[in-house]
Structure 1
Amino acid sequence: MARIWARTNCAFNNSGRGKCQTGNCGGLLLCPKPIRQHGLFDISLVDGFNVPMEFSPTSNGCTRGIKCAQDINTQCPNELRAPGGCHNPCTVFKTDQYCCNSGRCGPTNLSKFFKDWCRDAYSYPKEDQQVLLLA
């Protein structure tokens, strides 16, 4: 699975160093390439939200696209507001309830906020494992 994320309000120098208001990639213009697995794609709000997005498959037998087309920034709870986006709860509160560091966790009031706006997106760190268990 490749990771794709939107970056906003970026400024880089000639050597490719700089920063973005949202979606920063370690201060680099070119992000390190992730390991790719073909045929898999998802949208995750686990790391927060900055811009609406939609993905539509074009091959490999996939017929259903996924999207998070709502502008969550305008509805973001006050405690998660960030310049140009909406933080994830783990970044703000740094607790096991939101970060799932113990290996066990479930949906929270804040992950449910994200899920209500974007049904296709993962909304908390271990949600993908829960989906696999239910499949």
Structure 2
Amino acid sequence: MARIWGRTGCNFDGNGNGNCQTGGCGKLVCDPGNWGTIPKTLFEYALAQPNNPTDTIDISLIEGFNIPISFTPTSNSGALDGKCRTISCTADINGQCPQNWKVPGGCNSPCTTQGIGSCGASGDSTFYKQRCPDAYSFPEDDQSSTFACPSGTNYRLTFCP
């Protein structure tokens, strides 16, 4: 599985070192395994996995939210019983963020403020699920938040649609 996220408020020196307000990893090009700081809106995907004829895609808010995002299949849309479709999180989450989760440039989640093990389908996680029903708002939210397209599908990822 791979992850893509947007960074905001970044400032880098001539050597590519620096900081970002959200999603930063300390460098212009993040080192492998450095998943950036929270909060961040994540796009996660697994393409053309062995013995699997589908690509698996999702948007995750488990690590919070910093920017709106959408992901669109540009081929094969509607395939796999409608699970191959545009998914997005475009709500004004930063503007609606509960005060106790607000941070500069973003919004933490109950999973980042209370710990991954203490966030779930009820309670505070519903804040994100109500605003972005396509996105993961807690671990194990697979049924309503994991999407699939046939391997070989072309995609367009848009930050701040």
TM-score (norm 1): 0.78
If asked which structure has higher relative contact order (CA below 8 Å, sep 6+), I would say 2
Pairs within 5 Å for 1:1-135? 1-25=1-25, 27-33=26-32, 37-38=46-47, 39-59=55-75, 61-63=76-78, 64-94=85-115, 96-98=117-119, 106-128=120-142, 131=143
Which residue in 1 is equivalent to 2:156? Answer: none
CA separation of 1:76/1:14 partners in 2, compared to 1, >3 Å: closer, same or farther?
Answer: same
Higher helix share: 1
Structure 2 Cα separation of the partners of residues 94 and 42 of structure 1: 21
Q: What stretches of structure 2 of length at least 5 have no aligned partner?
A: 34-44, 48-54, 79-84, 145-161
Alignment coverage as a number of residue pairs = 120
CA separation of 1:87/1:113 partners in 2, compared to 1, >3 Å: closer, same or farther?
Answer: same
Higher strand share: 2
Structure 2 Cα separation of the partners of residues 31 and 57 of structure 1: 26
Which residue identity is paired with 2:118?
Answer: Q
Question: C-alpha deviations, 1:45-102, integer Å up to 9, x for none?
Answer: 000001111110123x34311000111001111111110100122322337313xxxx
Give aligned-pair identity as a percent.
48
Shift of 1:40: 2.3
Question: After the TM superposition, which parts of structure 1 deviate over 4 Å for at least 4 consecutive aligned residues?
Answer: none
CA separation of 1:57/1:108 partners in 2, compared to 1, >3 Å: closer, same or farther?
Answer: same
Which residue in 2 is equivalent to 1:103? Answer: none
Structure 2 Cα separation of the partners of residues 22 and 110 of structure 1: 22
Question: C-alpha deviations, 1:88-131, integer Å up to 9, x for none?
Answer: 22322337313xxxxxxx31321101000000000012323xx2
Which residue identity is paired with 2:63?
Answer: D
Q: What stretches of structure 1 of length at least 5 have no aligned partner?
A: 99-105
Structure 1 Cα separation of the partners of residues 61 and 27 of structure 2: 22
Which residue identity is paired with 1:117?
Answer: R
